[in-house]
A and B are shown apart, each in its own frame.
Chain A
Amino acid sequence: MPTLGADMESGTLLEWRVKPGDAVKRGDIVAVVDTSKAEIEVEIFEDGVIDELLVSEGTRVPVGTVLATLRTGAADGAPAPSPAPAPPSPAPAPPPEPAVTPPVAAPQRAPEERRLRVSPVARRAAEQLGVDLAAVAGSGPDGAITKADIERAAGAPTPAAAPAAEPGERAGAMRLAIGALMARSKREIPHYYLQTQIDMSRALAWLQEENLRRSVADRLLPSALLLSAVARAVAAMPAMNGFWVDGAFRAAGGVHLGVAISLRGGGLIAPALHDADRKSLDELMSGLRDLVTRARAGRLRSSEMSDPTITVTNLGEQGAELVHGVIYPPQVALVGFGGIRERPWAADGMIGARPVVIATLAADHRASDGHAGSRLLKLIDNRLQEPQEL
């Protein structure tokens, strides 16, 4: 069972898309898993032949459970049963973790693997309040978890306390999951916040011109420009793109923008637009449309759920003017955009009305400082002044 988000502890195998003997290749969808947030299509990351399905449909299992075994054709003819579990790492994994564990799972799994220091009263309180000890930061001697830590954590119910995500309870379960993750973020991550106003007149003028040449179906939205600008700026600022894991920052291999998408039934989800810095505006636009459609249909893929390297939240045309976001652990930064509004703008000694967006950055002070954060916002601004380059 892959981790389909840092807040996931277990998932229900809804459906197998393969059966023993089926040949599969990397990227094929082999199963559908229900997290408390959505139904996710699980991709396989190795070529081979499905050997055995170990978990039956409808079963809820903890993250890390082997779902199936896969025979890889690599060996000489004889199809030796490979211990390689399927689905293996859905992320382009930096290797020290076992194959089933994507890097985003590391901060949660690490404490489980060594013995947690939990005081007796805290352990009992955790049982009573349904708090997951692995998600609690200890403040006692030698980092031991104390009763007070449990009571703080209980303020935001954790995934362990979440009911199984029956369809009717999906929204409630999602609220619990979001609550637990955001509480953890605010508890553990020393956020700092920066904001800047960006003149969007050039970008929007270019967009208007560009859209005139396009069919209605192919028109670009300002969101695509914003996402592209962020992706390209982040590519130049690796310190903002990655994960805080085991007390250290680990830069990510690519720029996978987590795009916050609000769901119609309430709640939100932030699947990844992979390698966004290398995608054209058209690719970003279609990728975004696809993600939104599938997110709202509850049909996201495992890799999209597990490996965003930085999140972008865009309140859109009708949104509030700015957003101070909460970082999605173990990421270290979140870029927010308010609605694009006409505002008084002074330039060259003149005041005029221009379309302006307020870009904000919430960043993890353990991983970066305001100087770097400020530079990231400046780079985003620069990119948006040269829309033709996006």
Chain B
Amino acid sequence: MTVHPIARGTLAFLLGTIALLVGTGCLGAEGGAEAGSSSRITVADAYVPQPAGDVAAAYMTITNDGGGNDTLLGVRTEASRIAEVHETTMEGPTVSMRAVDSLEIPAGEVVALEPGRFHVMLIEPTAPLEVGDQILLVVTFEEAGDVEVLAEVVASGGMR
């Protein structure tokens, strides 16, 4: 079989990405929903690095195993006064952050809320977030409805 080098590179990259996603640690609990017929959403690997200041970030992996697209509409929690989905962007050396009203979760895809890309910003935690705490996040999707996930507060160990 002849595989064009570019295709081969892309394939290797895709395989690597899948391996990376599959290999992502198994912190926190997993939540799923099957409200809509076309979207099947799983939210897993949710964690919150213990914050250094008044704001924290929650990261997680969202999988849509269904045949239809879905859209993340927002996150609720009692762990902080406000929870917003944010996107981090880099332009040259400058890093910026903006709230996103919705986030597409296409059919058959995995969307990672991960450092430097997307996170749920937890503004003004209602109680100190201690390592080992589990906080309940309710993630709302257009099709799948509310999906609950427990996010574990972890020591802010950076990217290993």
A and B, one complex? no
Which A residues contact B (CB, under 8 angstroms)?
none
Which B residues contact A (CB, under 8 angstroms)?
none
